[in-house]
Amino acid sequence: MVTDFISLADFSGEELLAFLDLADDLKVQKRDGIPHPLLEGKTLALIFEKPSLRTRLTFQVGMYQLGGATQLIDTRLGERESVADVARNLERWVDGIMARTFDHDHVIELAEAASIPVINALTDKLHPCQILADVQTLREHKGQDLSSLKVAFVGDGNNVFHSWANFISRVPLNLTLVCPAGYEGAPEIVERAKADTKAEFHITQDPEEGLKDADAVYTDVWASMGQEEEAAERAKVFAPYQVNRALLALAKKDAIFMHCLPAQRGSEVTAEVIDGPASVCFDQAENRLHAQKAVLATLLGNASR
């Protein structure tokens, strides 16, 4: 059994769907006011190298609702002491480690050195927690049969796209990346998705081709944290890929709009789209809580997947 949550590609399709089913169950229990202290007496260390709103609050609130506690650590891993030493200290005090870092290798090092579960809450390479919440949201709005659905990811082949590609390598779901040349994502992740998926996976520079028959249109900021110096150039390159009313109209009439947030209105998406009736981005944000609780309950507690 996998004891860390680093990449969605580390799990089988059955395990990923079990996370999602548990997330749905925990969401219902929360809605109905049914206590679920599955992690009573457990403590999670939260390591943040990057600013955070959704990640910080959803992990803190999630552990509280599961009966556990959190301890915040704002630091840059590897500066005051080695990443391995941080892991070997934390494993003596807490029951799990959540890390939101720049360098993906730091999360790998934490997991290799620590005897307790390590959860990747975002790196420059992957964002697996986000995609669990996204798929939970997709199932809520479009049904449980993911194999019949198409997601069009518009913009940069970044860490969020990488985790979408990892997901479809395990669970059949049709995915198309619509991006300018040179922004197609990490070749090793793209090639694995192409080889392993049992659904359709395409990359195109043509929005009309990419959004055809899409059930969901997804975008993210054009310049992620750490890419601020590239922002002006990226704004020019990605301008034709702004999700506005005309671009969204290329998808199915009932297509939903998705965004992992934070969003820059007037940049990657217009206000009329993200604040319009097709938008489910705040449902995604809500589901970060429930999806991450499923991961926590499974890795730190006795919940099964």
Task: Answer whether 31's CB lies under 8 Å from 58's CB.
Answer: no
User: Rounded to an integer, what is the distance from CA 44 to the centroid of its chain?
Assistant: 19
Among 170, 288, 290, 305, the active-site one is: 288
Among 124, 260, 284, 305, the active-site one is: 260
Please indicate whether residue 281 is annotated as part of the active site: no
Q: Classify each residue of 104-127 as buried b or exposed e, where b means 16 or more C-beta atoms within 10 Å of its C-beta.
A: bebbbbbbebbebbbbbbbbbbbb
Which uninterrupted H or E stretch holds 65?
helix 54-65
Task: Answer whether 108's CB lies under 8 Å from 6's CB.
Answer: yes
Among 65, 129, 220, 290, the active-site one is: 220
Please indicate whether residue 24 is annotated as part of the active site: no
Q: Which of 62, 66, 80 is nearest to 35 (CA)?
A: 66
- Who's near 106: CB < 8 A, 6+ residues apart? 77, 78, 83, 99, 123
Q: Which two tokens stand for residue 292?
A: 């991450």
Please indicate whether residue 245 is annotated as part of the active site: no
Coil, strand or helix at 45: strand
Residues 70/75/81/84 CA torsion (nearest 10 deg)? 50
Among 100, 170, 234, 259, the active-site one is: 100
Distance CA 87, CA 70 (A): 16
Task: Answer whether 268's CB lies under 8 Å from 231's CB.
Answer: no
Please indicate whether residue 130 is annotated as part of the active site: yes
Distance CA 126, CA 103 (A): 10
Please indicate whether residue 56 is annotated as part of the active site: no
Q: How many residues does the chain have?
A: 305
User: 188 vs 21, 72, 75, 162, 232, CA distance in Å?
Assistant: 29, 34, 30, 10, 28
Please indicate whether residue 100 is annotated as part of the active site: yes
Could you give the residue numbers annotated as active site?
100, 127, 130, 220, 260, 288
